[in-house]
Structure 1
Amino acid sequence: MLLVVFSAFLMVQCTSEKAEQPALIPMPQNLEWNGEAFNMVDSSARFGQRIVPHLNEIPLNENEAYSLDVTSDSLILSALTEEGLFRGLQTVKQLTYFENGKRFVAGCSIRDWPAFRLRGFMQDVGRNFQPVEMLKEQIDVLATYKFNAFHFHVTDNPGWRLESKEYPQLNSPESMSRWPGKYYTQEEFKVLVDYCYERKITLIPEFDLPGHSAAFRKAFGFESMNDPRVQPVLIDLIDELVSLVPPEKMPYIHLGTDEVWHSYEEPSPTLLPALLERVTQYHGRELIVWRPGQHIEGDSVSITQLWSSNGHPKPGHRYLDSRLNYLNHLDPLAGIPQLYFERINGAAHGDSLRMGGILCNWNDNLVANQYDAVLHNPVYPGIVTYSETSWTGQSEGFGEKYLAKFPERNSSAFQKYTDFEERLIKHRDLYFQDKPFPYVKQTHIKWRIAGPFNHKGDVNKKFPPEDSIAAEYVVDSERYAWSEPVIGGTVHLSHFFGYPSLFPKETGTYYAFTRIWSPEDQTVNSWIGFHDWSRSGGRRGGPFPNQGQWHNTNPQVWLNGEIIQPPEWINPGLEDSSSEIPFSDENYYFREPTKIQLRKGWNEVLLKIPVIPQTWKRMFTFVPVQVEAGNVSEIEELKFFAEIKKLNK
């Protein structure tokens, strides 16, 4: 039976053409290529998978470990469990290619295991409802990249999205401030749990309480979470939840406890201890809570999920790490290196307390279309990158050093990232042609940065780089020189979360300069953006630009001395308080790219980036891109050169 499933699975999933060495993500712990290939249709060859009593040299997480040996005459996949076989099958998919109409598997020997025992992804459907089919699409990607947990944030202020037959008022449109009447029936919930379970993924449901409880309180007419009627209702809701799915399929229950900002959200002293007891002692499930979060008297067993820089492990408690990986804040180009260099739990691998990490997508702002929760955030490149971070582990402890800038070009860390970037791009082109994947190669893009010039509060003030590109400038007796080369399609000048950055000053006018070589006169698309808007917390950074501005700080772009005009915005001039007006074209990667005219030979690009203290994200993006049928890729023949000198035309 397993062999039949194996064969059918490969036939459906493998579409890649031959490659010298297939691009594997996540990279296996131990991999040796042998230059051979297994012919999947050769009846004289043998292939198979087997559950074995032990595997050699597996130091961690044996239940998901596997070994794979592929030669010209055999393909043998071995594991201790069905979970291990399933993880190994994902690797076989990536090793499979077609040549002359025949299907082959690249020859290799692999011994592989996950660095962390829990590797998850979270979607917030409490704020923005997502249809079941949309969630299944994401779960399929999680399975392909060896995730084993789907964190289902099913309640929040705008809505309680899981059907309660005992308390149907929770699902009434009147209780919801967004997507009224949109929720998951109990049958749909069980379908999602089973869909995950079939793919060796555990669904972790979250009722976020006692904060984030507006919909809950509105449904019952509770003015405060301190109301004595709250506790029995929540105990009933926990009982109802666990009655839907047995513990082997749903061993974890998440109860939030974070961000209790208001007096009406403060719980009674007995509420959280009673819920802890109900989940763990009465129902025998594991309890997960956020940290920072509410203190639970007598709690010695909860798993804490760290969610901010202030979230430190609770002594003696197991924990999950979600501190550096909020996709709703990340720019696709700057965010992917951040996810790659993140060290989950601050360690190369897990241990008895370090369980792993969960990548989060908190699209706090209202979306106009349900799929915008994926389209407006780098969900799929983020998942693929986090799969490597959480399965392979980050062997070196960089701390926060490379969370807002690239390593030095001659360093081993930079070389490792360029290798990963090459694999990431291959996966984009092979497996994500029907899904948004906003990432292009950027490690070859070089800039020189000058500044910040003191604009004294006038973001429109002009400085010498606008007149000529010189080695240095003197303004008001201050000397300004261009920086050493800076790498990236997106560059953080200073980072909004305070990670070590290239230019820590948070006010003044910067200039960025590069040259682009084109083999011919051509019109190309380009991603251009400044001070990327998060998809959370309203419109952080002040009002949205008026027509004729790239951003409210009025940055400028010149190509060969000609100014490039910004888009005609759909919602210009919105104030910061306009959080319930959905995003439409604010960020470069989900609006139409800007057309630019490159001439044959070298083209000069100059960016002006004014920054004021209110600018939350101090960054810029400029990348020529190719867009075809909604898919983005590199324009291969372009070259970048950032030396401050004249070139022969």
Structure 2
Amino acid sequence: MTATIKYRIINIVIIFVVLQFFSCGKSNRYNPALIPFPQHLSWNEQTFNLKDSSTAFVQRLVPQIVGVPYNEKEAYQLAVTTDSLILEATTEKGLYRGLQTIKQLSYSIRGNRYLAGCTILDWPAFKVRGFMQDVGRNYQSITMLKEQIDVLAAYKFNVFHFHVTENPGWRLESKIYPQLNSPESMTRQKGKFYTQEDFKELVAYCREREITLIPEFDVPGHSAAFRKALGFETMSDPRVQTVLIDLVDELCSLAPAEVMPYIHLGTDEVWHSYEKPAPTLLPALLERVTQYHGRELIVWRPGQHIEGDSVSITQLWSSNGHPKPGHRYLDCRLNYLNHLDPLSGITQLYFDRINGAAHGDSLRLGGILCCWNDNNVNDEYDILRHNPVYPGILTYSETSWTGQKEDFGENYLAKLPEKGSGLFNEFSAFEDRMIQHRDKYFAGKPFSYIKQTNMEWKILGPIANNDDVDARFSVEDTLQETYQIDTASYSWQGPFVGGTIQLTHYFGYPSYFSREEGTYYAYTQIWSSKEQTVGAWIGFHDWSRSGGRRGGPFPHDGEWHNTHPKAWLNGELIAAPKWNNPGLAGNSEEIPFTDENYFFRKSNSIHLKKGWNEVLLKIPVKNDTWKRMFTFVPVQDNNGTIKEVEGLKFSAEIK
């Protein structure tokens, strides 16, 4: 059996496996939701019966696809009619990308499978479209990683960044230095690591799905487990260089360069003297990776300077990180899922322009979406529950494949465009597609996103409160267009659209209000066709799932947050949750999250009367209030599976 035939058999098996992943739910017959959206698509309203696929489903490699401006190796063209299904690409990789689109075109009627008729010409905007998981801080099982890799493959990602070393543990087996994997060297999930066979299995699993695995040894910072296991007081110890060269050699022995062409060596966040490397360490590792092993070296930026480095790929992780002149780079700024609120964070991912461009070029390689769940977890799957991983992957799939055509800077990183504008309608259409995918493909999986472009708010304030967050104002007594409070006049502003509203963004992105101290009020109405009790996502802060980023003390029982916000529905106060860890100090990263954020705790219960229901929120802020935001969204909560409550309408009209 030739290698090509064997490869095609593997691909066919994968197609059937992933089709099972996409086997449930209903689809619009003639206009199925596609993510990422193709570069060129036209519907023809024909249907192809998949029972005819044995004779009329043609896949073929062609020397060229006309009209593809870049990244042709992953491009494909597709024609679906009543008579035939023809998929063409210049590479096996391109055929695989096209197959993912075909799976999304499928729907069932009375047990028969069909494809919606269309013509597609498609290619990726960026060469690298990746996703990173930090398994150094929190070990994730092979099964859990494979679940995520399957989703990446379905949405045309081509890189899985595997961050296997961190202060809590060195998670990849070393047969040369087995003490690296000893429980004594680890501070979390002690003794949990990936055997070399596990690693090879993951590399192969990714390759079968046309995904390149990029392993990362993060050195010389983030090296507590490394130093503890090997007895090094500092990373400048001359013995460190020999050990790390041995480990790089061992890593490269696990997969050939054509399968694993990139090695990532970190170099970021060297904060302490004991982490600073000897002058020869990083140049020696650069030479070992690139010249001896023939691989590409990736390093974080900002990061340690490497003397004589003219070839590394820099991965930008901070807003302070700028491309190194002449070096290729990957953009990871603004896309850390562990810092993103699921609702406002998705809009940020959607409107953030990867590499600051509509598409890649010889230096702009693309980007990698990152999940750094720094904090300890009770259960590995909490990483997917506590971070908007799956909605984030779908959104990043759209922006990294299709590309963000317009350059609007930071204008929409913390707020939505004006309702009714072209950009707003574009995001709303994407939101509808994502919700269809949520319901069709992610049953039983955590997917923390709810339709929010139909929600609107009026906001009043900030009312000067002289640092008294308990100050009470007449807004709580009567609803009117304007208020005279002391010597100042206040009017409602808006409407502002969204389920989460960032009053002023904590990183300073353009938002709705300037950063002033005082008390805000937010108002909306919810129309219900019947009297009913439903769930509600309610929150006044977003706790980052990352050490040192909690923003201050946790609230006490009976309070939503330490600034004493309040929520009323039809004049009745909505009680705050009884917290599992009230009063917890700010930097307690070893105490796992359980109920801190609205999207992974049990939703509040609210009672809607038939007709219009008034919601009033009070949001006091102080000068040191880091995150000035609120969330209020009615939800249908079925044992943690969240959907929209059907039939609700929203209006911010002051009556």
Shared fold per TM-score greater than 0.5:
yes
Alignment of 1:21 with 2:31, yes or no, is yes
AA partner of residue 536 (structure 1) = S
Number of aligned residue pairs: give it.
Answer: 645
8 Å CA contact 2:547, 2:587 repeated in 1: no
Task: Give the secondary structure class of the aligned counterpart of 1:485.
Answer: strand
Shift of residue 434 of structure 1? Answer: 2.0
Deviations along 1:227-262, one digit per CA (max 9) or x if unpaired, are: 111111101110010011111111000000111111
| Map 1:128-527 → 2, pairs under 5 A | 128-527=138-537
Structure 2 stretches lacking a partner, 5+ long:
none
Deviations along 1:483-518, one digit per CA (max 9) or x if unpaired, are: 120000000011111111111214211110001111
AA partner of residue 167 (structure 1) = Y
2-structure distance, mates of 1:6, 1:139: 12
AA partner of residue 470 (structure 1) = Q
TM-score of the superposed pair, with normalisation by structure 2: 0.97
Residue number in structure 1 paired with 2:134: 124
- Say if 1:49 and 1:43 are closer, same or farther in 2 by CA, change over 3 A: closer
Shift of residue 82 of structure 1? Answer: 0.6
- Say if 1:629 and 1:50 are closer, same or farther in 2 by CA, change over 3 A: farther
2-structure distance, mates of 1:550, 1:191: 45
- Say if 1:500 and 1:425 are closer, same or farther in 2 by CA, change over 3 A: same
AA partner of residue 525 (structure 2) = R
- Say if 1:93 and 1:143 are closer, same or farther in 2 by CA, change over 3 A: same
1-structure distance, mates of 2:259, 2:15: 26
8 Å CA contact 2:542, 2:597 repeated in 1: yes
- Say if 1:174 and 1:8 are closer, same or farther in 2 by CA, change over 3 A: closer
Candidates 566, 569, 573, aligned match of 2:576 = 566
8 Å CA contact 2:602, 2:640 repeated in 1: no
2-structure distance, mates of 1:573, 1:316: 50
AA partner of residue 353 (structure 1) = L
Residue number in structure 2 paired with 1:607: 617
8 Å CA contact 1:447, 1:487 repeated in 2: yes
8 Å CA contact 1:338, 1:403 repeated in 2: yes
1-structure distance, mates of 2:484, 2:423: 36
- Say if 1:50 and 1:16 are closer, same or farther in 2 by CA, change over 3 A: farther
8 Å CA contact 1:45, 1:73 repeated in 2: no
AA partner of residue 264 (structure 2) = H
Task: Give the secondary structure class of the aligned counterpart of 1:484.
Answer: strand
8 Å CA contact 2:537, 2:634 repeated in 1: yes
- Say if 1:542 and 1:320 are closer, same or farther in 2 by CA, change over 3 A: same
Residue number in structure 1 paired with 2:598: 588
- Say if 1:43 and 1:269 are closer, same or farther in 2 by CA, change over 3 A: closer
8 Å CA contact 1:29, 1:111 repeated in 2: yes
8 Å CA contact 1:542, 1:614 repeated in 2: no
Residue number in structure 1 paired with 2:99: 89
2-structure distance, mates of 1:390, 1:426: 20
1-structure distance, mates of 2:15, 2:269: 49
Task: Give the secondary structure class of the aligned counterpart of 1:103.
Answer: strand
8 Å CA contact 1:531, 1:615 repeated in 2: no
Structure 1 stretches lacking a partner, 5+ long:
none
AA partner of residue 70 (structure 1) = V
AA partner of residue 551 (structure 2) = G
Task: Give the secondary structure class of the aligned counterpart of 1:111.
Answer: strand
8 Å CA contact 2:375, 2:546 repeated in 1: yes
Residue number in structure 2 paired with 1:75: 85
2-structure distance, mates of 1:507, 1:157: 38
2-structure distance, mates of 1:276, 1:476: 66
AA partner of residue 359 (structure 1) = L
State percent identity of aligned pairs. Answer: 69
| Map 1:615-626 → 2, pairs under 5 A | 615-626=625-636
8 Å CA contact 1:540, 1:616 repeated in 2: no
1-structure distance, mates of 2:176, 2:652: 66
1-structure distance, mates of 2:213, 2:280: 28
8 Å CA contact 1:333, 1:440 repeated in 2: yes
8 Å CA contact 1:363, 1:373 repeated in 2: yes
AA partner of residue 242 (structure 2) = P
Candidates 543, 549, 558, aligned match of 1:548 = 558
Task: Give the secondary structure class of the aligned counterpart of 1:42.
Answer: helix
1-structure distance, mates of 2:501, 2:431: 17
8 Å CA contact 2:547, 2:588 repeated in 1: no
TM-score of the superposed pair, with normalisation by structure 1: 0.98
Shift of residue 460 of structure 1? Answer: 0.9
8 Å CA contact 1:23, 1:423 repeated in 2: yes
1-structure distance, mates of 2:549, 2:300: 25
2-structure distance, mates of 1:115, 1:621: 34
Shift of residue 455 of structure 1? Answer: 1.8
AA partner of residue 397 (structure 2) = S
Shift of residue 580 of structure 1? Answer: 1.2
Alignment of 1:112 with 2:113, yes or no, is no
- Say if 1:323 and 1:44 are closer, same or farther in 2 by CA, change over 3 A: closer
- Say if 1:472 and 1:551 are closer, same or farther in 2 by CA, change over 3 A: same
- Say if 1:43 and 1:30 are closer, same or farther in 2 by CA, change over 3 A: closer
Shift of residue 613 of structure 1? Answer: 2.6
Q: State the Cα RMSD in Å.
A: 1.4
AA partner of residue 541 (structure 1) = G
Alignment of 1:61 with 2:57, yes or no, is no
Task: Give the secondary structure class of the aligned counterpart of 1:589.
Answer: coil
8 Å CA contact 1:406, 1:487 repeated in 2: yes
1-structure distance, mates of 2:15, 2:399: 29
1-structure distance, mates of 2:152, 2:618: 40
Residue number in structure 2 paired with 1:628: 638
Deviations along 1:48-94, one digit per CA (max 9) or x if unpaired, are: 11111111111110110000000000000001111000000000000
8 Å CA contact 1:40, 1:104 repeated in 2: yes
AA partner of residue 612 (structure 2) = W
Alignment of 1:51 with 2:61, yes or no, is yes
1-structure distance, mates of 2:15, 2:337: 35
2-structure distance, mates of 1:553, 1:9: 50
Deviations along 1:429-484, one digit per CA (max 9) or x if unpaired, are: 00000210011100010000111111211111112211111111122312211112
Shift of residue 537 of structure 1? Answer: 2.1
Residue number in structure 2 paired with 1:637: 647
Task: Give the secondary structure class of the aligned counterpart of 2:52.
Answer: coil
1-structure distance, mates of 2:516, 2:384: 31
Candidates 19, 28, 32, aligned match of 2:42 = 32
8 Å CA contact 2:25, 2:439 repeated in 1: no
AA partner of residue 275 (structure 1) = L
